[in-house]
Amino acid sequence: MDEINKTNRVQELKQIELEFDIIIQKDRRNWLRVAKLLETIEQKGLYNVRARSFTEYVKDLAKRSGINVSTLWRARSGARIYMDIKGIPTLDEIREGEVKTTPEQLEMYSKVRTIAPESIVQEVKEKMLDGQGMRHELKELWQIYRPLKGGKTERGRKPKDYYESGMVKDEQQQFEVPYSMQSSSVNKSIKDQTYVQLMRDYRKMQRFHLNSEDITEANIINALRTRRWISLTLDQYEISRYSSFVNFNILGDEARGKVDLIGIVRKNKEDKNKLPLLFGVSDLAYLDKVQSDQLMMEQATFFHYYYVAVPMIEEHIRKALQEVDPNIGIIAVGEKLEEDTKHELKIVRKSPFRQIETSKHLLIMSKLAIRSLAWDD
């Protein structure tokens, strides 16, 4: 009887593997079917006829099929993330024709949702499930909000009981996260967000010991991914090319010279043989972070246009106008999402154009090239 059962299991596994081979050769985009086949093999224990463990079997299957083993694991994890998002209890209940996203997007979304503000999380989720290409967007969001999860200094942190007192509240009244439904009913600054979203944000703040200024720092960088501030600076609506890179140190000293975002810009298609324009931005979410004029002007010499970015709060804007050198521009960033998943912004003071030395231009370009090649890891 055992021999008959083993023979049946071998035949069943061969049939599944035959279907798997057809998918790999003819329909590689059908990753959900791959996930279902792997689930069947594991749940029924069919892998036992070829390997000592399911992990060993998957490695062997990938080798025999000539694909990377991570492709199989990604399909499986993507399916589970999709089940979690949609509230589907079993993999068999997912209709393959209705899934419009990819495992790569689902995995990146799963990372982003652990730390990004819930309003952004909900928007990218809807677009992703609708079949829009969100891979680049999700990657950028993860790059921006990931630093909030660790490696932070103690600057600006609140005592632990600050997060357990029932209300997390920014001294500048930028936003509040309510602890109870009663407090949310009188909180005018959160009327555009749902209570559930706010409580999710509150739990993230608790978990990673964040305050509103930490979130605002990331939101400011998120806002600057849009081309709008570039267009307003150049008085030109259409910009041929714009790419942004976050978190650069341009002076070789960790304690100074940090530029939070570098924008690289080509105004017109005709400029493709010219060196691009360089924009630099320092993030001033904290009121006490204003650097000396000497250091900021030293940094500004590396860029055609140089800005500081502050929260869209009257006190922050007033302090920046008073303390930041008039040769440096000021951008204010708000809490609301304005363009896709990017936060609203306005230029308070436009940066003047400055000529930069060719050596400094090429230094920045070389750093950008190294970052693009991922050689700075």
Q: Which residues of the chain have pLDDT under 70?
A: 1-4, 151-194, 252-257, 287-293, 339, 376-377
Do 40 and 117 sit in the same domain of this protein? Answer: no
Q: Are 281 and 259 in contact (CB under 8 A)?
A: yes
Do 270 and 342 sit in the same domain of this protein? Answer: yes
Do 243 and 368 sit in the same domain of this protein? Answer: yes
Do 15 and 138 sit in the same domain of this protein? Answer: no
CA–CA distance, 273 with 269 (Å, rounded to integer)? 9
Do 198 and 277 sit in the same domain of this protein? Answer: no
Task: Tell me what pLDDT residue 185 has.
Answer: 41
Do 244 and 306 sit in the same domain of this protein? Answer: yes
Residue 57 lies in a domain: yes
CA angle 77, 78, 83 (to 5 degrees): 95
Containing 343, the helix (H) or strand (E) segment is: strand 342-349
Do 244 and 308 sit in the same domain of this protein? Answer: yes
Residue 377 lies in a domain: no
Residue 220 lies in a domain: no
Residue 364 lies in a domain: yes
For tokens 């279902």, the residue is 36
Task: Tell me what pLDDT residue 3 has.
Answer: 67
Give residue-wise pLDDT tens across range 295-304: 788 889 999 9
Residue 11 lies in a domain: yes
Do 253 and 312 sit in the same domain of this protein? Answer: yes
CA–CA distance, 116 with 270 (Å, rounded to integer)? 38
CA angle 346, 201, 90 (to 5 degrees): 125
Do 112 and 88 sit in the same domain of this protein? Answer: no
Residue 253 lies in a domain: yes
Do 30 and 51 sit in the same domain of this protein? Answer: yes
Q: Which domain holds residue 365?
A: 226-372
Q: Roughly what angle, to the nearest 10 degrees, separates helices 135-145 and 212-223? A: 140
Do 61 and 182 sit in the same domain of this protein? Answer: no
Task: Tell me what pLDDT residue 159 has.
Answer: 42
Give residue-wise pLDDT tens across range 66-124: 889 999 999 999 999 999 999 999 998 988 888 999 999 999 999 999 999 988 999 99
Number of domains in the chain: 4
Do 254 and 127 sit in the same domain of this protein? Answer: no
